[in-house]
Amino acid sequence: MRLLPALAFGTLMLPLAAYASDPNSYAQPDQVRVTHLDLDLKIDFPQRQLDGRATLKLEWKNPKAQSLVLDTRDLKIAKIEALGADGKATPLKYALAPRDKQLGSKLTIATPKHPAQVRIVYTTSPDASGLQWLTPAQTADKKLPFMFSQSESIHARSWVPLQDSPAIRFTYDAHVSAPKDVRVVMSAINDAKHPLNGDFTFDQPHPIPSYLLAIGAGDIAVKETGPRSAVYAEPSIVDKAAHEFEDTEKLIATTEQLYGPYAWGRYDILVLPPSFPYGGMENPNMTFATPTVLVGDKSLVSLVSHELAHSWSGNLVTSAAWRDIWLNEGFTTYVQGRITEAVYGKSLADEEALLSARALQKSIGAMPVNSQKLAPDPRGVGADDSLSDVAYDKGSWFLRTLELRFGREDFDAYLKGYFAHFAWHSISTEQMLDYMKPNLIEKYPGKMSWDEVKVWVYGEGIPKDAPLPDSPRFNTIDQERTDFLAGKLDADKLDAKGWNTQEWMYFLDRLPDVAPLDKLQQLDAAWHLTGTPNAEIGMRWYSHAIAGGDKAVWTAAAEHMTRIGRLYLTVPLYKAFVKTPDGLAYAEQVYAKAKAGYHPLTQQVVEELIDKAKKAK
């Protein structure tokens, strides 16, 4: 049943209701829709701000519409103008609503004459939630300042006034002015040979949603890793990063064989400073990546497989609202596993799938019921909260189940057809299901019922018959862990010399939440886990050691927390510390020293965690 007339969009007919119902955006794309962004930015490092001029090309949908409504957060608006066909500018009246903590400020521009273009002149706040500004001292090479964006999920509005919803896709071009010697990159085709003259231009000809709008600037060197890929990073780590990511072209070619041609031209990677709050961000043409994956043995390059997979699931076919983000992350995590299996072997892919599945089994029961669903009630989960383990791990688990039921050959053909059918569109869970029912479930009857599909998508928890891969090495580790905890096997007799990163992660993940202190001390004495350069292992080890009462690790844990701003690798240590009065006091001391190097998103999460613990005490 359609509530509103259909909107012609490419080869598909998508209901206007899908574009008008994003609870995380003030935009009204059923009235008017932004189709192109012309962006002019000046990077001001001393003031920690962007001076911007955003020109929006508009497609009017409702002939009676009186205004253009945009999303903003903490932007200082200087003026807004309508641009005529002759280039003449006419001032427009506008109103900026009071700031909402989650959504920012609604910007309403009076446009009764339906201009084809509107230009907004503005500056960003030094505290913009989607930008981080680093002094030279906060970078690896300590020569030049650094700035980078993180627009997902609804933080693009903090540095560009726009319709900040994944349902709305637009092309863009940009001109960016920067100090000389600073390289600027964006989520578009980047020129590795561009002179560092302070004047950069970019063009993104493919329609993207706002959360994929990205910018970075700093002391950035470049090293090619293939005919259509390169690594961008600070000069001191660019060679290390290029070695770690030297298989990038192989990963691209492997994914093309599975799901069709890579549609974006180039696939480059920007390795950011350690304060980057996420593992990676799939910005088109230029993945932003954490340096914590640079461990020297390629054991964590599944991050590249994941962000590359987004070039099909997420960037090419996009969820229309944050409630549907599992269409991005669940599909991508599944594709990531297929890439890892093809390039690095089935054993590693199975280990990674088991790691995520076991972690989800442990955590999902403590989540609110609505958060346990792949497609939750849209107003029950916030935009940032939608990016949970459920979207990634339950979503990919569902797709692995489909692959097992229908067979890899038929499921691959289905998925390749899905990407081709919805290419360059933003869709809802229900649109995905409308495509799945005739093209998979009914096409191959008797393999999976529609009721089973609905349980996966709309049900809480994990279906009882959800299949898990088998890992003989993990089975052996389970037995060794059991024997070690029972006193039947000394720590130094664990057969761990050949364990890879994933196997250490699995061993530590399945220790008791509060392990005996003597066992933890034996483990550290035998395997020297304190001080590990591997952040994945370090996060798990320090969390256990803190919970177990081993104050000897506190200094090393603090160094880990100060050096790394990635939420996933830092917040668990804060959570472990704040459970005791002494730990809470220590966590506050660590945060006071680390805060300046954290991204605004990391600051927000840690501060909320500490405040909650203090109130509970």
Mean pLDDT, rounded, for 287-303? 90
Give me the catalytic one of 172, 392, 574, 586: 392
pLDDT of residue 387: 73
- Split at pLDDT 50, 70, 90, the class of 295 is confident
Dihedral sign, CA of 433, 436, 442, 447? negative
pLDDT digits (tens, 9 = 90+) for 458-482: 999 999 999 999 999 999 999 999 9
- Split at pLDDT 50, 70, 90, the class of 12 is very low
Q: 73 and 101 in contact (C-beta within 8 Å)?
A: no
pLDDT of residue 424: 98
Mean pLDDT, rounded, for 401-423? 98
- Split at pLDDT 50, 70, 90, the class of 548 is very high
C-alpha distance from residue 66 to each of 98, 102, 110, 426 (Å): 21, 26, 6, 26
- Split at pLDDT 50, 70, 90, the class of 384 is confident
Question: Given a cut of 50, is residue 176 above it in pLDDT?
Answer: yes
Q: 122 and 54 in contact (C-beta within 8 Å)?
A: yes
pLDDT of residue 2: 25
Q: Is the peptide bond before 356 cis (omega within 30 degrees of 0)?
A: no
Q: How many residues does the chain have?
A: 617
Question: Given a cut of 70, is residue 3 above it in pLDDT?
Answer: no
Retrieve residue 160's tokens: 């560009």
Question: Given a cut of 50, is residue 512 above it in pLDDT?
Answer: yes
d(C-alpha 199, C-alpha 180), whole Å: 8
Q: 571 and 605 in contact (C-beta within 8 Å)?
A: yes
Question: Given a cut of 80, is residue 4 above it in pLDDT?
Answer: no
pLDDT digits (tens, 9 = 90+) for 299-328: 888 899 999 999 999 999 999 999 999 999
Question: Given a cut of 50, is residue 18 above it in pLDDT?
Answer: no
pLDDT of residue 299: 83
Mean pLDDT, rounded, for 10-25? 57
DSSP H helical ranges for 121-231:
none
d(C-alpha 282, C-alpha 211), whole Å: 10
- Split at pLDDT 50, 70, 90, the class of 16 is very low
pLDDT of residue 63: 96
pLDDT of residue 8: 34
Question: Given a cut of 70, is residue 576 above it in pLDDT?
Answer: yes
pLDDT digits (tens, 9 = 90+) for 52-100: 999 999 999 999 999 999 999 999 999 999 998 888 999 999 999 999 9
pLDDT digits (tens, 9 = 90+) for 115-137: 999 999 999 999 999 999 999 99
Strand pairing report for 199-209 and 169-177: antiparallel
In three-state form (DSSP H/G/I as H, E/B as E, the rest C), the secondary structure along 268-293 is EEEECCCCCCCCEECCCCEEEECHHH
pLDDT of residue 381: 66
d(C-alpha 400, C-alpha 421), whole Å: 21
pLDDT of residue 7: 32
- Active site annotation includes 307: yes
- Split at pLDDT 50, 70, 90, the class of 380 is low
- Split at pLDDT 50, 70, 90, the class of 393 is very high
Beta-sheet strand order (sheet of 67-72): 67-72, 105-110, 94-96
Give bridge partners of residue 427 from the DSSP assignment.
319
pLDDT of residue 6: 31
Retrieve residue 145's tokens: 């300042």
Give me the catalytic one of 81, 152, 234, 307: 307
d(C-alpha 288, C-alpha 270), whole Å: 5
- Active site annotation includes 392: yes
pLDDT of residue 389: 93
Mean pLDDT, rounded, for 519-531? 98
Question: Domains in the chain, please, with CATH?
Answer: 317-458 (1.10.390.10), 472-616 (1.25.40.320)
Q: 481 and 496 in contact (C-beta within 8 Å)?
A: no
Give bridge partners of residue 177 from the DSSP assignment.
42, 199
Q: 502 and 348 in contact (C-beta within 8 Å)?
A: yes
Mean pLDDT, rounded, for 251-269? 97
- Split at pLDDT 50, 70, 90, the class of 386 is low
Backbone angles phi, psi at 69, to 5 degrees: -110, 125
Q: Which of 241, 236, 204 is nearest to 225 (CA)?
A: 241
pLDDT of residue 14: 44
d(C-alpha 247, C-alpha 225), whole Å: 8
